A = this chain, B = another copy of it.
Amino acid sequence: MALDVEEIAEDARDAYALDKSLRAHLREAIETHDVAAIDALMEPLHPADIADLLEQVSSAEREAWLTHWSSGIDGEVLSELEEGLREKVLDLLPDAQIAVAVRELDSDDVVDLLEDADEAQAEVILDALEPADRAAVEAAMSYPEDTAGRLMQREIVAVPEHWTVGEAIDYIRGQAGKLPEEFYHVILTDPRMKPTGYVMLGRLLATVRGVKLTDITEDSFRPIPATQPEEEVAYAFNQYHLISAPVVDDDGRLVGVITIDDAMIVLDMEAEEDILRLAGVGEESSLSDGIIETTKQRFPWLFVNLVTSIIASLVIAQFEVALATIVALAVLMPIVASMGGNAGTQSLTVAVRAIATKDLTASNLMRVVTREAGVGLINGAIFAVVMGIVGVVWFGTPMLGVVIGAAMIINLLVAGLAGILVPVVLDRLRIDPALASGAFVTTVTDIVGFFSFLGLAALLLL
């Protein structure tokens, strides 16, 4: 039987897309204020899918939905919502509903909610918690935002490091009912509660009773300081294939644990942020934002671009005589600038990602700079020949071909160098290179492109 891979792949492509009729039915149920129907539609869905639906409907629909279904929004759905929208949804929910919702959540998800809540809502949330949970949440909130301390769960399964497999299993079995619902390893601690290693549950179960726990610990053991920024945490999980990691305070004592699912969310968010920042879109931008919000997010980068393109125009204005004499210059000059801008964007994107993944370091910087310069020169030379020919054929002036060719080489070389050096310098200055590199690099390539092309033309053609 020949397997029709194409067809299967085609079907599988939309494997997790939500059913189209679902949205139509939901819309109808919202319009008719039919709470029972909304309940029935949402019942089979995962909280993450309900959150996605909330993000996809218009804000008017969302408001109507929540007004008639506030009892349906549970803590899980709230913690699945993207940050910007969570704030809006919290504002639409009655306090009593928020209190009910948070009681089901783990401490790290409550912390997440608190970060988006206003002061009055924060009080409602904290008051809703049991004293022990409240203490755990307040302890987490004492760490700076976006650090390991905020990310970790306080629920820990730890045993003395000198125990055997049998002792650990007996202890855990004796605790049945009192343990966290999900845990993947047992942490070994010394008498001062410093973690000294950890054992995966699978390994524990697959080992005979007499073996010492210290003999089956994982090599990948890496305690994470509670104040470590969350992007570093995500990097460590990704780089060292951690499944979970103990979190320690300033004295090295165990205070919590971070699991890979939390790290995966951070990693995904960081990549998303880089993509949006590189494109000059506010990193909190979301499809659920309205026109005014989106306009505000996009305006700043467009404004920066306006200023930089006016600067480029000032360069052009220096060559009014040349432009008035040879109209072909006006026709051809955007090509040089555009090629430089694109080559620069290529270099800077590679550099920004290499900085984020710690692949670009002091030791290989010179090699990469040399490479970018070389690539710029070679591509510049190829396109110089192409454009030289285009210039001659189109306008019949051989010297015009020489001018545009030379400008092309200069601009692609500069683009390669600016593309790597601007992000590196911004990173040294502790400015996020994803955020600001684009504006700098295209300004450089615009100015150099126009100046070299028009300058050479003024020199050689007038």
**Measuring CB to CB, which residues of chain A are less than 8 angstroms from any residue of chain B?**
3, 5, 8-9, 12-13, 15-18, 20, 23-24, 46, 48-49, 52, 55-58, 144, 147, 157, 169, 172-173, 175-184, 200-203, 205-208, 219-220, 225, 227-229, 232, 235-241, 243, 260-261, 263-265, 267-268, 271-272, 274-276, 278-281, 285, 287, 289-292, 294-295, 298-299, 301-302, 305-306, 309-310, 312-313, 316-317, 320, 323-324, 327, 329-335, 337-339, 342-343, 345-346, 348-350, 353-354, 358-364, 367-368, 371, 374-375, 378-379, 382-383, 386-387, 390, 446, 450
**Alpha-carbon distance between A197 and B201 when the two chains are bound, in angstroms:** 19
Contact A335 B309 (CB under 8 A): yes
**Alpha-carbon distance between A402 and B64 when the two chains are bound, in angstroms:** 43
**Alpha-carbon distance between A202 and B18 when the two chains are bound, in angstroms:** 31
CB distance from A322 to the nearest CB of B (A): 10
Q: Which of B265, B280, B346 contacts A298 (CB 8 A)?
A: B346
Contact B361 A56 (CB under 8 A): yes
**Alpha-carbon distance between A310 and B333 when the two chains are bound, in angstroms:** 10
Q: Which of B290, B302, B312 contacts A334 (CB 8 A)?
A: B312
Q: Which of B206, B330, B450 contacts A176 (CB 8 A)?
A: B206
**Alpha-carbon distance between A202 and B232 when the two chains are bound, in angstroms:** 27
Contact A306 B383 (CB under 8 A): yes
Contact flag A227-B302 (CB < 8 Å), given A181-B203, A309-B335? no
For residue A219, which residues in chain B have a CB less than 8 angstroms away from its CB? 46
For residue A18, which residues in chain B have a CB less than 8 angstroms away from its CB? 358, 361
Jot down 6 A-B pairs with beta carbons below 8 A, ordered by A. Answer: A20-B362, A23-B363, A184-B243, A238-B265, A302-B346, A309-B339
Does more than half of chain A's interface fall in helix, strand or loop, or is it mixed?
helix
List 18 other contacts, CB 8 Å, given A12-B229, A175-B206.
Answer: A16-B232, A48-B239, A52-B359, A58-B364, A178-B206, A183-B202, A201-B201, A271-B271, A278-B278, A281-B349, A285-B350, A309-B334, A313-B332, A313-B334, A313-B335, A320-B331, A333-B334, A334-B337
**Alpha-carbon distance between A429 and B269 when the two chains are bound, in angstroms:** 28
Contact A330 B316 (CB under 8 A): yes
For residue A306, which residues in chain B have a CB less than 8 angstroms away from its CB? 335, 339, 383, 386-387
CB distance from A206 to the nearest CB of B (A): 4
For residue A346, which residues in chain B have a CB less than 8 angstroms away from its CB? 279-281, 298, 301-302
**Alpha-carbon distance between A331 and B203 when the two chains are bound, in angstroms:** 70
Contact flag A295-B378 (CB < 8 Å), given A240-B48, A279-B349? yes
Contact A364 B279 (CB under 8 A): no
Closest to A378 in B: B295
Q: Which of B15, B203, B390 contacts A232 (CB 8 A)?
A: B15
Contact flag A17-B298 (CB < 8 Å), given A272-B353, A291-B378? no
Q: Which of B46, B239, B323, B337 contacts A327 (CB 8 A)?
A: B323
Q: Which of B317, B324, B359 contacts A287 (CB 8 A)?
A: B359
For residue A265, which residues in chain B have a CB less than 8 angstroms away from its CB? 238
CB distance from A378 to the nearest CB of B (A): 5
CB distance from A271 to the nearest CB of B (A): 4
CB distance from A407 to the nearest CB of B (A): 13
